[in-house]
Amino acid sequence: MHTYTKIDPLLWTGRKSGQQLYLHEKVICIDLNSEQIPSINGQSWAILGYACDEGVKRNEGRIGAALGPYAIRKQLAKLPNHLTENALLLDTGTVDCNDGDLKKTQTALSRTVTQLLNQNTFPILLGGGHDMAYGHYNGIKNYLAMKGKNKSIGIINFDAHFDLRTNQTNNNSGTPFYQIAQDCKLEQSNFRYMCLGIREDANNSTLYDTAKDLGVAYVEKANFNLLYFDEIKEKIAQFAKKVDYIYTTIDLDGFSSAYAPGVSAASPMGFSPEIVLECLKIIMASKKMISLDIAEMNPTYDIDQQTAKLAASLVHFVIHHSQ
């Protein structure tokens, strides 16, 4: 079965201005199998879909995340374009999981992320289950290895869950960071992982113990709001100092269902968009963020495209504030 599909340009539609006032007029759709990313002097962002909810299914979550990348694109297309003329916004297609082979899909994703980084563009991945994180991380790691760079990668995860479940039974959307930690152990490298928004009612005691054993830094949801922003800012800054690159991942189920009902594991007890935007500013200001993904978008349970609009606005924020 195919694991890569070029995006249909017709998906990118919206109000027509004839002046590139909207992102659907700015975006360029690229087939990575046959086309090269154009070389430019300005910045370049590459959107890549991860149409897979096999990991969510294995983790006993609500099915539907495979449709997430398309739902986010539809909302992103309508948003205004404030990018500079020489900036590139690309849609580089979707990695699919049509046969339930999660390992193959993660490998294809890893290979594609490496390809994008090699072509001097900033990957923005849209999911899809959070199992995306394992393939995404390995794509970054392989890129740095190919460049001969012995550099450290720190992971900052906006999430209600640690996603540190053991993968003894199978790999799923709850195991990606445990898998990365085990790989780091085998490679005798440091596992650098920070979680922002962790909820006590979303993680059992074993997961807290695992986080402690692995030296995971985290901020619980009770303290993850603008009232505690000075402390959060300092924790992010200290984390960033210890790594060469930052891979940022946003799990939409970390947000309150008031903002994000369309996710695999919704809860009203999550965090708000404002604190995430302020934290993203700090991460981007470090000049170390190498890649980004947004996980667990599930259009089946969305209300008035609310969650897709939130995800699209997060992407819009990142591409316009990292210029």
Joined tokens for residue 251? 């799990």
Domain boundaries, the chain: 4-321
Using CA of residue 139, residue 44, residue 280, residue 268, what is the dihedral sign? Answer: negative
Query: pTM of this prediction?
Result: 0.97
Phi and psi for 270 in degrees, rounded to 5? -80, -175
H or E stretch at 321: helix 306-321
Query: What local confidence, expressed as pLDDT, does residue 323 receive?
Result: 63
Please list the pLDDT of the chain residue by residue as tens digits (323 residues). Answer: 468 999 999 999 999 999 999 999 999 999 999 998 888 778 999 999 999 999 999 999 999 999 999 999 999 999 999 999 999 999 999 999 989 999 999 999 999 999 999 999 999 999 999 999 999 999 999 999 998 878 999 999 999 999 999 998 899 999 999 999 999 999 999 999 999 999 999 999 999 999 999 999 999 999 999 999 999 999 999 999 999 999 999 999 999 999 999 999 999 999 999 999 999 999 999 999 999 999 999 999 999 999 999 999 999 999 999 86
The answer to whether 161 is annotated as binding is yes
Tell me the sheet residues that pair with 80: 22
> Which residue type does 202 have?
A
Task: Judge whether 48 and 114 are in contact, CB under 8 Å.
Answer: no
Query: What local confidence, expressed as pLDDT, does residue 169 receive?
Result: 86
The answer to whether 130 is annotated as binding is yes
Query: What local confidence, expressed as pLDDT, does residue 1 receive?
Result: 47
* Domain 4-321 architecture: 3-Layer(aba) Sandwich (3.40)
Choose among 121, 187, 128, 130: nearest CA to 155. 130
> Which residue type does 181 have?
A
Q: Tokens 């990018």, residue?
A: 83
